[in-house]
Structure 1
Amino acid sequence: MHSLTQLVADELAIPAHPQVQAFAAHIARQYPNAASAVLFYGSCLRSKQLEGQMLDFYLIVSSYEATYTQKWLATWNHRLPPNVFPFQHDGLVAKVAVLSEADFHDLNRPAASAVSVWARFAQPSRLVWSTDAAARVSVANAISGAAPTLLNAALAFTEREVDVLDLWQTGFRMTYDAELRAERNDRPASVVDFDPDRYARFGHAALQHTPIANEIRGGKVHILADPQCRIMQERDRWPALRRNGKFLTVARLAKAAFTYAGGIDYLAWKINRHAGTQIEIKPWQRKWPLLAALFLVPKLLLKGSVR
């Protein structure tokens, strides 16, 4: 069996579509003093159709101070990571989240105050641009914390014996519930069902690194005796994770009103795509995106379009 870090490194190295690689190089060129790596992730990773989609990238940088000429952008990236910006290149559009190497490492681990980074990078991603071999190793090491963090959370809320794929689905349901999401209720299951062999391989490797002790017997994950009360420790932190996750979703949306041109249109597009709604943004909402977002989110919560 390959180690988890090797599995992550091998998956990151799978070539992406040439247009995606060219887009990533374009992003990195905008930050010549700071860019370390560019990661491609999200639903478009599973799609052969790029045109008309919103691609998702993470730009990993050496430091926020080296990234921005405007100090306030560095300050907000420190205080409320990540900053998110729209990009266009060669007929494609994307949103790019910016994280420092240090934050990317920490936000893929249990001490993170919210689930957003490790929940995403427990899923497949591609390293589509990097400065050198050291950057590639750093990214693989950071992402190697994501799957154990997710599966450890699921272990704390499951039966003493569980199938590894069911464990993944439990973990994704928990993370979706810890953010304001527009996706359908079956989304966590569909993520795993798209490539169950991948999740079985990564699950077996990641379960060797969870704080909650377990072993695999007869194809099932068995939770072992827990003298250090790791299960209760994990359970105890989830109410705060759910509160923080929903609060941070709104806070980042408010921040994006200042950093993300057209952010309110992206919000509407994302919700319409995943929740089947027909939101249309009015001129006043584009003029005052922060006010529009604060008006729109509670309305969607009441309708159940986001959860």
Structure 2
Amino acid sequence: MRPPESLLDRVRAELALPVDPRVSAMAAAVAAAHGDASRAVLFYGSCLRQQQLDGLMLDFYLIVSDYRAAYRSRWLAFANRAVPPNVFPFEHDGLAAKYAVLSEADFRARCGMEARDVSVWARFAQPTRLVWARDAAARDAAEHSVARAAPTLLAWSRPLAAQDAWREGFARTYGCELRAERKGRETSIVDLEPERYREFAALAEVPEVSPADAERAWRRFRRRGKLLSVVRLAKATTTFAGGVDYLAWKINRHAGTAIVVKPWQRRWPILGAMVLLPRLLRQGAIR
């Protein structure tokens, strides 16, 4: 097998790796829900890493041509444009998932150095599969965008890494969002496929960033990321049916807590989430 000549070659090969047919079927159903606006569907996250589907929630990104074309509701289009992405629950053939929606232009920008927060490039620097594409042009656009993510993470983390830029980068990205995962998750991600990360690092053309500029960038990422996490949580209660229950399930699963959602929190989900958040921060369930 000929070795990849560039990071883009390597990304294309990884995106094309086979997945469980049920994942492909669910991706096609997600795309169908948004009609001709759908351009590509990417599968990522813990279900991909663990190669386990049943009883878990699959993670997808749906890439669309345009927000207005993707929705019947003007409010959903506005919300997606103003505070991307929108996130929705989805069920298909006995499996549960959530999917986030980004336009092709936003996806490309948020995988690159111009991104103002870490949420997209931090995820797509990790293993991903392209499980549905409208056509060859849509596939090519998704491949080029994903190929921007790893160099972005390495550019911001290498100047500050004592040893491993990947672990440094993932540790810092986890500190930029309200996350329920326990400490050390960044190490386990890299340890699952160490050769993959070594190969990506060797192939990536990484922009030069000074340590001072990198440290300033991470301070901005942390401030903006924590604020965006709260704003997205509030927004998700208007777009994500059962959002408060999902939040509790996610935190209980990763942090070992026993949060029980009360009926009034389901009735007024934004208020319920805001009341829940300070207690979780105090307990260290999310950071």
- Give the TM-score, by structure 2 length: 0.97
Instruction: Decide which of 153, 161, 165 is 1:167's aligned counterpart.
Output: 165
**Equivalent residue, structure 1, for 2:207:** 211
**Equivalent residue, structure 1, for 2:238:** 258
Instruction: Decide which of 93, 114, 119 is 1:116's aligned counterpart.
Output: 119
Superposed, which structure 2 residues align to 1:1-307 within 5 Å?
2=4, 3-159=6-162, 162=163, 166-206=164-204, 209-212=205-208, 230-307=210-287
How many residues align? The count is: 284
Q: Is the 8 A contact 2:157 2:214 kept in 1?
A: no
Runs of 4+ in structure 1 over 3 Å off:
none
Residue-by-residue CA offset, 1:265-285 (whole Å, 9 max, x unaligned): 110011011101011111111
Q: Is the 8 A contact 2:90 2:96 kept in 1?
A: yes
- Structure 1 gap ranges (5+): 213-228
- CA offset at residue 246 of structure 1? 0.7
Counterpart-to-counterpart distance in 2, 1:116 and 1:48: 23
Residue-by-residue CA offset, 1:11-45 (whole Å, 9 max, x unaligned): 00001110000000111111112000001000000
Counterpart-to-counterpart distance in 2, 1:89 and 1:199: 32
- CA offset at residue 295 of structure 1? 0.8
Q: Which moved more, 1:119-128 or 1:234-243?
A: 234-243
SS at match of 1:94: strand
Higher Rg of the two aligned structures: 1
One-letter code of the match for 1:266?
Answer: Y
- Structure 2 gap ranges (5+): none
Residue-by-residue CA offset, 1:86-144 (whole Å, 9 max, x unaligned): 10100111101000000000000121111010000000010000011111110010011
- Give the TM-score, by structure 1 length: 0.90
SS at match of 1:96: strand
Identity %: 55
SS at match of 1:127: strand
- CA offset at residue 48 of structure 1? 3.3
